[in-house]
């Protein structure tokens, strides 16, 4: 699998069985430091630890990064509960 993070242009993912493109969430950006790392961790947690499929894991990771950029500092990563609430508010 190859994932291309494109900042405000969203994310693209390619794997043997298919590909997906997701737009970025519209948020008020405060600090983008660590957004890519937050996305990576979000995807790993969603896909491996929570057992989500690729589409849901990409959406979860996208939400992790979106919430992260609304806060200052590289360590301002949201909790699982914050990500779930963020996604629910946009469903």
Contacts of 22 (CB under 8 A, 6+ apart): 10, 11, 58, 59, 62
**DSSP assigned state of 70:** T
- With respect to residue 66, please indicate whether it lies within any of the assigned structural domains: yes
Q: In this predicted model, what pLDDT tens digit does every residue of 74-88 receive, in sequence order?
A: 889 999 999 999 999
Catalytic option among 31, 37, 40, 56: 37
- With respect to residue 17, please indicate whether it lies within any of the assigned structural domains: no
- With respect to residue 75, please indicate whether it lies within any of the assigned structural domains: yes
Residue 68 is predicted with a pLDDT of: 97
- With respect to residue 20, please indicate whether it lies within any of the assigned structural domains: no
- With respect to residue 70, please indicate whether it lies within any of the assigned structural domains: yes
- With respect to residue 4, please indicate whether it lies within any of the assigned structural domains: no
Mean per-residue pLDDT, 2-18: 95
| Whole-number Å distance between alpha carbons of 49 and 5 | 21
Q: How confident is the model at residue 58 (pLDDT cuts 50, 70, 90)?
A: very high
Active site residue 56: no
Q: Which domain holds residue 45?
A: 27-89
pLDDT at 91 over 90: no
Residue 38 is predicted with a pLDDT of: 96
Name the β-bridge partners of 74: none
Domain count, the chain: 1
| Whole-number Å distance between alpha carbons of 63 and 84 | 9
């Amino acid at each position: 699998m190859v994932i291309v993070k494109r900042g405000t242009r969203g994310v693209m993912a390619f794997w043997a069985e298919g590909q997906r493109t997701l737009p970025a969430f519209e948020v008020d950006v405060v600090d983008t430091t660590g957004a890519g790392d937050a996305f990576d961790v979000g995807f790993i947690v969603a896909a491996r630890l929570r057992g989500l499929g690729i589409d849901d894991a990409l959406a979860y990771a996208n939400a992790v990064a979106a919430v992260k950029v609304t806060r200052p500092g590289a360590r301002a990563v949201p909790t699982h509960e914050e990500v779930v609430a963020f996604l629910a508010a946009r469903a």
